[in-house]
C-alpha cells in the first residue's frame, strides 16, 4: 500500500504523526510526507517534526502565506505532478486547513482515494474559511474518520454514505498521550508558577484591530491578578505591530511560538487557557484544564458538552466575568470523550488496510 500524508500547518503534524507511526509497523506499506509549507516558520514547523520523531518530508511545496484562493490554488498546482508521478493508493488529509481541501480536490479529479482524518466537525458558520474546507473535503473523501460521535451525525445528515464513516477517536490525543511524559521535563523560561495561558491566531479575531486592542487591555488588566503567558503566533504579532499595540505590564509575558513539548507543559500547568484554537479546546478537555474560547461557535461542541471548554464569544466583558469566576475557584468539571484514549491511529490503520484488502 502506497500512502501520502498531506501536512501544512502545526495541528496537521500532531495528527499525522501517530498515523504515520502506526502504518510504519505494517509490512508492505510505503509512506511519503508532503509538506505544503503553509506554516513555514521553523518554530511552527521544523521543530515539530523533530519532537514528533517524524521523517523529513520527502516533498516540500513551500507555498508560504497568501490569500485563501492563492494559497489553495498554488498547493493544487504544485501537488498535482507529485500525485501523477507517485500514484498513491491513499492520500491522507488532516483537519480543515487549505492544504487539506487543496489536496482533496487534486486527488478527486485524478481518481485517487482520499481519507479525511478529523472528518465531520462542524461549526455551522460558513463565514469561517475552515468550515468551507471541512464541507468540501468530507464530500470528496472516500473514507471519513471522525473524532467524536457528533461528527458521524453531521455526515449522515449531509448525505454521506454510512459505509464511508468510521468513528475512531481523536488522533490529536494520541500524540498528547505519547508526549506527556516528555513534556513533564519541560519548563519554558520566565514562566511564573501560576498563570493564564493565551493563544490567538484566527483572522476573525486578530485582524479586527479594535477588538484586538481591547483584548490586550483586558488581558493586561487581568494579569495584575494572575500572570498571563502569551506565545504569539506570527500573524498576531504582525497585527499588534501594525496597530502599535504594546504591553508594558510586567506580569504579561509575551514570547515567540514555542515547540510542542514546552507548549503542552504550559497547557498542563495553566490555571486557565484562553484561546481561539480548535485543537487546544480538545487538549485542555483531555488535560482537565479550564478553557475559555473567544469565539461565538465551535466545530468541537463535545468539548463544551462534555469537556472543560466554555464559549465566551468575542464579548470581553463575558471573558472578564468568566476569568473572575475561575480565580474564585469555580471551574467547569469535564469528562474525557469516548475513544480519546491514545489508540485512534491504530483504528484508522485497521480500516485502511481492510479497505485495501
Return the DSSP state at 232. P
What gap in Å lies between CA 350 and CA 61, rounded to an integer?
30
Question: How distant, in Å, are the alpha carbons of 3, 11, 40, 235 from that of 65?
Answer: 26, 16, 8, 10
Q: How far apart are the first and last CA of the chain?
A: 10
Q: What is the full DSSP assignment across 14-49?
A: HHHHHHHHHHHTSTT-EEEEEE--SS-SGGGTHHHH
Smallest CA-to-CA distance from 93 within 148, 38, 42 is with 38
Cell numbers describing residue 128: 469561517
Return the DSSP state at 310. E
CB 7 within 8 Å of CB 16: yes
Smallest CA-to-CA distance from 92 within 171, 177, 179, 176 is with 171
CB 134 within 8 Å of CB 299: yes
CB 33 within 8 Å of CB 7: yes
Question: How distant, in Å, are the alpha carbons of 79, 191, 262, 323, 343 from that of 6?
Answer: 10, 35, 25, 38, 21
Cell numbers describing residue 225: 491578578
Q: Catalytic: which of 39, 116, 166, 201? A: 201
Task: Tell the burial category of 126 from Cβ atoms under 10 Å away from its Cβ (0-12, 13-18, 19+).
Answer: exposed
Cell numbers describing residue 224: 495584575
Q: Is 68 a catalytic residue?
A: no
Q: What is the full DSSP assignment across 75-122?
A: HHHHHHHHHHHH--SEEEEETTSHHHHHHHHHHHHHT-EEEEETTT--
Q: Report, as residue numbers or ranges, the catalytic residues.
A: 201
Amino acid at each position: 500500500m502506497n500512502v501520502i500524508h498531506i501536512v501544512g500547518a502545526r495541528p496537521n503534524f500532531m495528527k499525522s504523526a501517530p498515523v504515520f507511526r502506526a502504518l510504519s509497523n505494517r509490512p508492505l506499506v510505503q509512506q511519503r510526507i508532503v509538506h505544503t509549507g503553509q506554516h513555514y516558520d521553523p518554530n511552527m514547523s521544523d521543530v515539530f517534526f523533530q519532537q514528533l520523531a517524524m521523517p523529513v518530508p520527502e516533498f516540500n511545496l513551500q507555498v508560504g502565506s497568501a490569500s485563501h484562493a492563492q494559497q489553495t490554488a498554488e498547493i493544487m498546482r504544485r501537488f498535482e505532478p507529485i500525485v501523477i508521478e507517485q500514484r498513491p493508493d491513499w492520500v491522507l488529509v488532516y483537519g480543515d486547513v487549505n492544504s487539506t481541501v487543496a489536496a482533496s480536490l487534486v486527488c478527486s479529479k485524478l481518481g485517487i482515494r482520499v481519507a479525511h482524518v478529523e472528518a465531520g466537525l462542524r461549526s455551522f458558520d460558513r463565514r469561517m474559511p475552515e468550515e468551507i474546507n471541512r464541507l468540501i473535503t468530507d464530500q470528496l473523501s472516500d473514507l471519513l474518520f471522525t473524532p467524536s460521535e457528533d461528527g458521524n451525525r453531521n455526515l449522515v445528515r449531509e448525505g454521506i454514505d454510512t459505509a464511508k464513516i468510521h468513528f475512531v477517536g481523536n488522533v490529536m490525543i494520541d500524540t498528547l498521550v505519547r508526549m506527556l511524559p516528555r513534556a513533564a521535563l519541560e519548563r519554558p523560561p520566565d514562566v511564573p508558577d501560576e498563570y493564564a495561558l493565551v493563544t490567538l491566531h484566527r483572522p476573525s479575531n486578530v485582524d479586527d484591530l479594535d477588538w484586538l486592542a481591547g483584548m490586550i487591555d483586558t488581558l493586561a488588566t487581568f494579569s495584575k491578578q494572575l500572570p498571563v503567558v502569551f506565545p504569539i503566533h506570527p500573524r498576531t504579532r504582525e497585527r499588534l505591530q501594525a496597530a502599535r499595540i504594546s504591553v508594558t505590564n510586567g506580569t504579561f509575558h509575551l514570547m515567540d511560538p514555542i515547540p510542542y513539548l514546552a507548549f503542552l507543559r504550559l497547557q498542563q500547568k495553566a490555571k486557565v487557557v484562553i484561546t481561539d484554537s480548535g485543537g487546544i479546546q480538545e487538549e485542555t478537555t483531555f488535560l482537565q484544564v479550564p478553557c475559555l474560547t473567544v469565539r461565538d461557535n465551535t466545530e468541537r461542541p463535545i468539548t463544551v458538552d462534555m469537556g472543560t471548554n466554555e464559549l465566551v464569544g468575542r464579548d470581553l466583558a463575558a471573558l472578564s466575568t468568566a476569568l473572575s469566576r475561575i480565580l474564585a475557584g469555580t471551574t467547569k468539571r469535564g469528562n474525557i470523550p469516548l475513544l480519546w484514549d491514545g489508540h485512534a491511529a491504530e483504528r484508522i490503520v485497521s480500516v485502511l488496510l481492510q479497505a485495501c484488502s
